Amino acid sequence: MRISHMLAASALVALTSTASFADKFVGYGAIDGWNVHIDTEKKSCLVETKDALDNVIQMGLTTDRGIGYIGVFTKAETDIKRDDKEAVAIKLGDEIYFGEATGMRGNITKGYSGGYVLTDNPAVFEAIAREQTMFVFPEKHYGFTVDLTGTAKALNLARKCNAEQTQ
């Protein structure tokens, strides 16, 4: 199964600094360890959490709302470069989804690097809401796990938030 029928080449607009984050993103709510923010430029909402190792996980929608993104960012030393493309497999429960991750460095919250995957496949977010762990296997880097505890409630709150942004 593929992460996306068409992985868009458009870049995720990410955090450039704490000040611009405050200007661009407005808090909407928090639930089960996840924060929901309104992206005032895109008029959509995203969910975000930090794990015990200070890694940041973000999920949201691109400007046209037809494509979702999943981003994982770390303060750990990486060799990830901005706009690098890398094949990735994501295991959620019994399903494995394949796609392409795009590296980010220097244009997200200071000190973080990582990457994001774009998808137009709703089954990916349904699996994320259902499962407790996401296993990520990049082609060139070590695999890692993402704790998905609380995502079902967070994604439901983000859906409510997104519906309100279109009114």
DSSP state, 5? S
List residues bridging with 89 in a β-sheet: 98, 137
Query: What is the chain's pLDDT, residue by residue, as a tens digit (167 residues)?
Result: 334 322 222 223 333 334 455 578 899 999 999 999 999 988 899 999 999 888 999 999 988 888 999 999 988 877 778 888 999 999 999 999 999 999 887 545 678 888 999 999 999 999 999 999 999 999 887 899 999 999 999 999 999 999 999 87
Find the CATH number of the domain harbouring 153: 2.60.40.1880
Q: Which two tokens stand for residue 76?
A: 């750990």
> What pLDDT sits at residue 1?
35
Total domain count, the chain? 1
Contacts for 139-146 with beta carbons within 8 Å, 24 or more apart? 139/86, 139/87, 139/88, 140/86, 141/78, 141/80, 141/86, 144/72, 146/51, 146/57, 146/72
Instruction: Give the residue among 58, 33, 49, 46 at the shortest CA–CA distance from 114.
Output: 58
Is the separation of the CB atoms in 104 and 116 below 8 Å?
yes
In a domain, 3, yes or no: no
Instruction: Say how far apart CA 149 and CA 100 lie, in whole Å.
Output: 24
Span 39-80, pLDDT tens digits: 998 889 999 999 988 899 999 998 888 899 999 998 887 777
Domain span including residue 149: 18-165
Task: Note whether residue 1 is domain-resident.
Answer: no
Question: Using alpha carbons only, what angle is made at residue 89 by residues 16 and 106, rounded to the nearest 5 degrees?
Answer: 15
Q: What does R_g of the chain's alpha carbons equal in angstroms?
A: 15
Q: Is residue 10 part of a domain?
A: no
81 part of a folded domain: yes
